[in-house]
Amino acid sequence: MKGDGVVWRCWLRLGADHRIELNLHVLGILTLLGVTWLLALGFLPQVFPGWPAGAYWLVACSVALTDSLAGLVHELGHAVVAVARGRRVYRITLYGLAAAARRSSGPARPRDQFAIALAGPVSHLTMACALLCAWQLLPIDNEPLRVAAGFPAVSNFVAGLLNLLPISPLDGGRVTRAIVAGVFRV
């Protein structure tokens, strides 16, 4: 482990001359283990009784991984739009269900702020739609498999909607600020 709590690091190339440092923080691993444990021993057996024990662990692990991936996809959504609009993104660190990015500061045009902020919740809603499509294609008599897709579909949908609330520091607050700045030219 590196001194800053990062257990794994790689670089992602975006476009010809833009590299983003991707970090997995030790908290990300601990959150993954904690969420898997809570789901496998607590939530899933209570809500969906009668599965084989191994199925609870497999589904719990799959849900925890998918929701952690959603946190990364959320930040990557911001990053792709930011880079497309000429901003720099230096680093994305995954802390478990949430990720954080270090982007170039400095003033951005309201329409850029609007697009960059909106990309986060839209990423969650896109993941929710993809998982919902997968859920509909899965065999109706295989409850564990359907929960493995349906649970993160719901959590991504809720995360997308919550993120759209016009409250700072949520993305919805940034979207609202960008709209106000664009309309009133402040």
Q: Which residue is nearest to Zn ion (CB)?
A: 120
Q: Is 96 in the site for Zn ion (CB under 5 A)?
A: no
Name the segment binding Zn ion (CB under 5 A); options: 9-17, 26-34, 120-128, 141-149.
120-128
Question: CA-based Rg of the chain, rounded to a whole angstrom?
Answer: 18
Residue reference for tokens 């959504």: 77
Q: Is 120 in the site for Zn ion (CB under 5 A)?
A: yes
Q: Is 171 in the site for Zn ion (CB under 5 A)?
A: yes
Torsion over CA: 112, 79, 93, 150 (sign): positive
Q: How is residue 176 annotated by DSSP? A: H
Name the segment binding Zn ion (CB under 5 A); options: 13-21, 90-98, 118-126, 137-145.
118-126
Nearer to Zn ion, 146 or 174 (CB): 174
Nearer to Zn ion, 122 or 147 (CB): 122
CB of 52 vs Zn ion, minimal distance in Å? 38
CB of 99 vs Zn ion, minimal distance in Å? 9
- Rounded to the nearest 5°, which phi and psi values hold at 97? -80, -10
Report how many residues bind Zn ion under the rule CB under 5 A. 2
Q: Is 67 in the site for Zn ion (CB under 5 A)?
A: no
Q: Is 82 in the site for Zn ion (CB under 5 A)?
A: no
DSSP code string of 70-112: HHHHHHHHHHHHHHHTT--EEEEEE-SS-EEEEE--S---HHH
Strands (E), 51-168: 89-94, 99-103
CB of 136 vs Zn ion, minimal distance in Å? 28
Q: Are 124 and 70 in contact (CB under 8 A)?
A: yes
Which positions lie near Zn ion, rule CB under 5 A? 120, 171
